[in-house]
Amino acid sequence: MKKIILLLSFFIQGLVFSQGHYTGSAFNPNDYFAPHPGWIIPVWYGYADMNYYNGSGHKSDQLINPAPGNPTSLSISQNVKTDSFILMAIYGGKGKILGADWGMMMIPMINSPTANIALDYYSSQTGSGTYVFTNKTIGFGDLYIQPVWLSWKKDKWTYALNYGVWAPTGKYEPHGLDNGGLGYWSHDIRLAARVKPIAKLSISLAATMEINQWQKDIDFKEGSHLTIDFGGSYGLNNRGDEVGFFSHYTKQVGDDKGTNGGFLTDQIAGIGGYGSYWIVPKKIGLMGRITQNFAVENRFGGTAVQVGVNFLFSSEEH
């Protein structure tokens, strides 16, 4: 059975203002590639503990913001903790499209305002002083849809082309404290490759470019970001249980536009591991993950933990 054990951790790691929707290490190493035929319904809970890091990469309570009309420095509430609940709908199609295995994905989510919402709130302030982000509400976030999910196989190699879009379905009001979304569309274009030197071992590399549109009711469009993901997995047995690691590096590669916003380039890296166990092979599986960020500049970073259950229906062998 081709295994797919998905967790899109970008929902719960916590992005920040002028960061976009996608965070690296959002997929496990095998999950850039189209799933086996049938439906997969993952249900996840995630917790993240994030702190703000300045342009020098140091944990800081001072947000430097040279945007026109905004103060040059704010004292902020440094720590942001978030909770998220994610329900995914993943479909692996039968047959081929352009000679490739194919699938589609849709992911609504319910979350508390994440670190990206917190820094969006901080960045929009127009007076110096101390600002504390204390909102604890939970609501719908932005919706991710991946209509293009293609994978080609050749010997020990697999190649993938993915396109996904973030729809601004979460609540958003300019400078709102209880926003659940970012208020703009984002487009993710991804190329990935995987090699299996032996049957139980796989190594993958992926590059994702995220392109963002203008923010609702705000004269601001954040720059594009490029993320490189690298990881590997090892199969423990014939049931499909596995362990693996993942890592990523994200860098802003485009300039911000408009008169609002931080106008500071940013970066973040991370590394983590996961393990999976199938309670009922090909039917019900458990998985846990942990991610630690480092090399963080002009954004929030920290530790994220996720646990979840996957339900498989009408799965078939390729």
**pLDDT tens sequence for the chain (318 residues):** 444 444 443 443 333 344 788 988 888 999 999 999 999 999 888 888 888 888 888 887 776 555 555 555 556 656 677 777 888 899 999 999 999 999 999 988 776 555 555 555 555 555 555 555 555 666 778 899 999 999 999 999 999 999 999 999 988 887 776 777 888 999 999 999 999 999 999 999 999 999 999 988 888 888 999 999 999 999 999 888 999 999 999 999 998 888 765 567 889 999 999 999 999 988 999 999 999 999 999 888 899 999 999 999 865 544
CA 65 to the chain's CA centroid = 25
Backbone angles phi, psi at 302, to 5 degrees: 170, -140
CA gap 250, 209 in Å, rounded: 10
Look at residue 52 in the predicted model and tell me its pLDDT: 83
Question: 39 near 61, Cβ under 8 Å?
Answer: no
- The CB density around residue 69, as the number of other CB atoms within 10 Å, is 7
153-189 pLDDT tens trace: 999 999 999 999 999 998 888 777 677 788 899 999 9
Look at residue 1 in the predicted model and tell me its pLDDT: 41
Look at residue 76 in the predicted model and tell me its pLDDT: 61
Which CATH number is associated with domain 9-312?
2.40.160.40
| Extents of the domains making up the chain | 9-312
The residues, any chain, with a CB within 8 Å of residue 71's CB and separated by 6 or more, are 65, 125, 126, 127, 128
3-state secondary structure the chain: CCCCCCCCHHHCCCCCCCCCCCCCCCCCCCCCCCCCCEEEEEEEEEEEEEEEECCCCCECCEEECCCCCCCCEEEECCEEEEEEEEECEEEECCCCECCEEEEEEEECEEECCCHHHHHHHHHCCCCCCEECCCCCCCEECCEEEEEEEEEEEECCEEEEEEEEEEECCCCCCCCCCCCCCCCCCEEEEEEEEEEEEECCEEEEEEEEEEEECCCCCCCEECCCEEEEEEEEEEECCCCCCEEEEEEEEEEECCCCEECCCCCCCCEEEEEEEEEEEEEECCCEEEEEEEEEEEEEECEEEEEEEEEEEEEEECCCCC
Look at residue 7 in the predicted model and tell me its pLDDT: 41
Look at residue 303 in the predicted model and tell me its pLDDT: 93
- The CB density around residue 222, as the number of other CB atoms within 10 Å, is 28
253-304 pLDDT tens trace: 998 888 765 567 889 999 999 999 999 988 999 999 999 999 999 888 899 9
